[in-house]
Amino acid sequence: MSFLTLNSLSKIYGNFTAVDAVNLEVSKGEFVSLLGPSGCGKTTTLQMIAGLAEPSAGSVMLDGREITREKPNRRGLGIVFQTYALFPHMTVAQNVSFGLEMRKVGRAARDRRVAEALALVKLDQFADRYPRQLSGGQRQRVAIARALVIEPPVLLLDEPLSNLDAKLREEMQFELRRIQQTVGTTTIMVTHDQGEALSISDRVVVMEHGKMTQADVPAAVYDNPATEFISSFIGKMNNIPGIALRLGIQSSGVILPATDCPATEGEPAILSLRPERITIVPAGQGHLHGVVSARFFFGSHWLFNVDTAVGQIIVSWPNTDGSLPASQGQPVGLSWSPESARVSARTQETSRIDA
């Protein structure tokens, strides 16, 4: 049963439609990420849920109650911004306690709930410190504790980890998920970071040009993207244009196999293949032949650029034992399981991506 429901939610500024009739149902306790590039409408959607932006059309329902026109303070939602917005003159405990004081919660109950919130984010030993005495990750956890201490029905996160360095951001992703699962609060997070959304969400909602283009579990969004935009935006993807066959495509005179072929046979089509699903094999073997033009080291894996008859193909190779399958300038073959390739009809959108 839906706990938070967006019904045809829209926001229009003059002639510009920022959010276009978004429909979304979120279950109680679910962690949902709104994912998309800058300007896609994800933050505006969050602001309409929070009451910080008034919808041009549509409605917001919370636990069966319409809150579309309610003031933000009447909704009782917890909000964490990317800037933390902590009070510099207040201690950690005072920052976390502020929302409870505004709600006139008694001193004893307030102290208990603040202590519980700080323990939850592992900052109970920092209660008397000021924000300037904390690291970026610690300040972020204070902001999360302040939002959770009021026991909100929904927690809204607006790019909450964007100000952290790469390593700390990754650590905080898992910490954020741990906190959310411990409390069980329904959570909506806005992010442009694909890895962040895929790793900690129950569902990912991909937005493009104000529209919701796919809402699904992370693995389905990654493995079965609904549009060519999603296939290229989330992770890396090799998009190879050609003519649809019954089991694959023909491109530049080469037949490339696939089993998922909804495109009409004989019509323009595109084969999509993730770099990590491709295996480098000796020259003369595999489905496609080429020459390694470049390789890049990322620690846990290598990326190879392979020039082929159908264009440059990206291959991801895991760094399991330090060995490499090919050197720069070496002829190689490329192989993959047909089940891992996806064929779809070629659209104008696909042509823009290829350009």
Give the pLDDT confidence of 150-181 residue by residue, as tens digits: 999 999 999 988 878 888 888 889 999 999 99
Q: Can you give the three-state secondary structure of 217-272, one letter per residue?
A: CHHHHHHCCCCHHHHHHCCCCEEEEEEEECCEEEECCEEEECCECCCCCCCEEEEE
Fold of 2-229: Rossmann fold (3.40.50)
Res 148 pLDDT > 70: yes
Q: Is the pLDDT of residue 349 over 50?
A: no
The answer to whether 295 and 328 are in contact (CB under 8 A) is yes
Give the per-residue pLDDT at 277: 96
- The mean pLDDT of 123-149, rounded to a whole number, is 93
Extract the runs of DSSP E, i.e. beta strands, from the chain.
2-13, 16-27, 31-35, 57-62, 65-66, 78-80, 154-158, 186-191, 203-208, 211-216, 238-245, 248-251, 254-257, 268-273, 279-282, 288-297, 301-308, 311-318, 331-335, 342-345
- Locate 160 and state its tokens: 């909450």
323 — pLDDT class (breaks 50, 70, 90): confident
Whether the predicted pLDDT of 317 surpasses 70: yes
Higher pLDDT residue, 1 or 273?
A: 273
Tell me the per-residue pLDDT of 183-214, one tens digit each, with 9 for 90 and over. 999 999 999 999 999 999 999 999 999 999 99
Q: What is the pLDDT of residue 83?
A: 82
Looking at residue 354, its pLDDT comes to 39
Examine the pLDDT at 37 and tell me if it is beyond 70: yes
For residue 242, the cross-strand partners are 269
Write the pLDDT tens digit of every residue in 40-90.
999 999 999 999 999 999 999 999 999 999 999 899 999 998 887 899 999
**pLDDT for residue 347 is more than 70:** no
pLDDT of 315 above 80: yes
Please compute the mean of the pLDDT values over residues 313-322 and round it to a whole number: 94
Question: How confident is the model at residue 351, as a pLDDT?
Answer: 40
What percent of the chain has pLDDT above 90? 82
Q: At 83, is the secondary structure helix, strand, or coil?
A: coil
Output the 3-class SS for 284-304: CCCCEEEEEEEEEECCCEEEE
User: Given its phi and psi angles, is residue 159 left (phi above 0), alpha (psi -120 to 50 degrees) or beta?
Assistant: left
Q: What is the pLDDT of residue 79?
A: 93
- Domains of the chain: which residue ranges? 2-229, 236-354
Structure confidence by residue, pLDDT tens digits, 217-275: 999 999 988 888 898 899 899 999 999 999 999 999 999 999 877 778 999 999 999 99
Question: Is the model more confident about 259 or about 332?
Answer: 332
Q: Which fold has domain 236-354?
A: OB fold (Dihydrolipoamide Acetyltransferase, E2P) (2.40.50)
> d(Cα 62, Cα 23) in Å, to the nearest integer?
14
